[in-house]
């Protein structure tokens, strides 16, 4: 057992280093500047009180200080640039396995790595809430490359306490531990129900982005008979993919799920980043959905 554990740990560290190298290239290359232009500080914060000067906004006058000293003084504010980025990562059984080059969990780790390194580069703090049916682990937000890499390692290695998924406890926990406005990336396949209200409440205080992992098995496979097993419930069934009615029913069910999820996110005023998991190696598989999301946010900002 110890030898197997050491081998597994070595493979994990190798994977973390590989993701770090790839993410650094993306952050300093095609993604450079995208993060900082899309995510800005939560607002302004008080800096000092100074004497009134011609051209100052009269609404900024501090009447208490003015009355005390007999001359007009105004409050000065500065941009609040530092952000807190928190990843809510789904560890349920449906995030593992699949027909892709990587599992949804491995793809999620790569996306989180790119976003975490971008945040660190901008001197922001990053943290993690890992969940399955409940909150499995909380890593408070901190600055620094070492902390970001710890989060990447946890994204890959943390075991889920349950095979089932429930986003509500993680969203409620995030709303409790975050005192100030933050950026929340909810990273999941969203193959669950009952999360809409909790997500909507969370989005009232925070900038919430849903990162939806789309695995290849959402498309009917090119195969004949296949024994399929639900990773969360354990229920097994045999499907004949040569049957047109079976293929059409499956495609319709997936389309309904995607449409309903998208509607729920839109009603909650939550932005969506769809991340397809590739079947084979693609050069821009990780960067493409992140850049598409950045462009969407920038274009929407210019229209406001």
* Whether 259 and 121 share a structural domain: yes
* Whether 101 and 212 share a structural domain: yes
How many Å apart are CA 220 and CA 253, to the nearest integer? Answer: 11
- 3-class secondary structure, 194: coil
CB-facing half-sphere around the CA of 273: CA atoms within 13 A = 26
Whether 33 maps to a domain, the answer reads no
What is the pLDDT averaged over residues 4-19?
A: 70
Whether 205 maps to a domain, the answer reads yes
Give the CATH number, domain containing residue 173: 3.40.50.410
Mean residue pLDDT across the chain: 87
Question: Which residues lie below 8 Å from residue 25, measured CB to CB, with a gap of 6+?
Answer: none
Q: In the prediction, which pLDDT does 14 show?
A: 77
Asked which of 44-48, 151-155, 229-233, 298-302 is least confident by mean pLDDT, the reply is: 44-48
* Whether 67 and 110 share a structural domain: no
* Whether 254 and 176 share a structural domain: yes
Query: What are 238-267's pLDDT values in tens digits?
Result: 888 888 898 899 999 999 999 999 999 999
- Res. 302: pLDDT tops 50: no
Whether 178 maps to a domain, the answer reads yes
* Whether 73 and 89 share a structural domain: no
How many Å apart are CA 90 and CA 190, to the nearest integer? Answer: 9
Q: In the prediction, which pLDDT does 3 show?
A: 64
Q: In the prediction, which pLDDT does 185 show?
A: 98
How many Å apart are CA 160 and CA 90, to the nearest integer? Answer: 8
How many Å apart are CA 126 and CA 184, to the nearest integer? Answer: 10
Question: Which residues lie below 8 Å from residue 165, measured CB to CB, with a gap of 6+?
Answer: 90, 92, 94, 132, 133, 188, 191, 192, 232
How many Å apart are CA 60 and CA 51, to the nearest integer? Answer: 11
Asked which of 75-79, 87-91, 97-101, 217-221 is least confident by mean pLDDT, the reply is: 75-79
Q: Which two tokens stand for residue 223?
A: 């195969």
- Please give the helix or strand (H or E) that residue 167 lies within, else none: helix 167-177
Query: What are 18-48's pLDDT values in tens digits?
Result: 788 878 877 877 677 788 778 865 455 555 6
Whether 191 maps to a domain, the answer reads yes
Whether 9 maps to a domain, the answer reads no
* Whether 53 and 200 share a structural domain: no
* Whether 87 and 64 share a structural domain: no
* Whether 114 and 59 share a structural domain: no
Domain end call among 27, 54, 80: 80
Question: Which residues lie below 8 Å from residue 135, measured CB to CB, with a gap of 6+?
Answer: 129, 169, 170, 173
- Please give the helix or strand (H or E) that residue 248 lies within, else none: helix 244-267
* Whether 127 and 161 share a structural domain: yes
* Whether 171 and 61 share a structural domain: no
Q: In the prediction, which pLDDT does 47 show?
A: 54
* Whether 52 and 152 share a structural domain: no
Q: In the prediction, which pLDDT does 303 show?
A: 44
* Whether 96 and 176 share a structural domain: yes
Q: Number of structural domains, the chain?
A: 2
Whether 257 maps to a domain, the answer reads yes
Residue 130: give the domain boundaries.
82-303
How many Å apart are CA 255 and CA 274, to the nearest integer? Answer: 14
């Amino acid at each position: 057992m110890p030898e197997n554990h050491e081998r597994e740990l070595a493979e994990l560290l190798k994977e973390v280093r590989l993701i770090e190298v790839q993410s650094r290239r993306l952050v300093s290359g095609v993604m450079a500047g995208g993060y900082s232009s899309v995510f800005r500080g939560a607002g302004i914060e008080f800096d000092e009180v100074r004497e009134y000067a011609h051209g100052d906004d009269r609404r900024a006058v501090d009447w208490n200080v003015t009355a005390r000293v007999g001359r007009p003084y105004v409050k000065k504010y500065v941009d609040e640039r530092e952000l807190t980025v928190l990843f809510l990562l789904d560890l349920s059984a449906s995030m593992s396995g699949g027909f892709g080059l990587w599992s949804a969990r491995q793809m999620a780790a790569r996306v989180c790595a790119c976003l975490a390194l971008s945040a660190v580069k901008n001197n922001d703090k990053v943290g993690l809430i890992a969940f399955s049916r409940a909150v499995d682990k909380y890593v408070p937000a901190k600055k620094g490359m070492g902390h970001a890499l710890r989060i990447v390692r946890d994204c890959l290695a943390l075991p889920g306490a349950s095979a089932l998924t429930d986003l509500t406890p993680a969203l409620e926990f995030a709303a409790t531990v975050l005192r100030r406005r933050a950026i929340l990336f909810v990273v999941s396949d969203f193959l669950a129900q009952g999360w809409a209200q909790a997500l909507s409440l969370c989005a009232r205080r925070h900038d919430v982005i849903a990162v939806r992992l789309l695995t290849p098995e959402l498309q009917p496979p090119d195969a004949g008979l296949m024994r399929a097993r639900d990773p969360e419930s354990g229920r097994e069934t045999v499907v004949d993919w040569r049957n047109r009615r079976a293929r059409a029913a499956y495609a319709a069910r997936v389309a309904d799920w995607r449409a309903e999820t998208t509607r729920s996110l839109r009603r909650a005023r939550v932005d969506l980043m769809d991340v397809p998991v590739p079947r084979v190696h693609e050069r821009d598989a990780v960067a493409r959905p992140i850049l598409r999301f950045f462009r969407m946010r920038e274009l929407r900002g210019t229209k406001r």
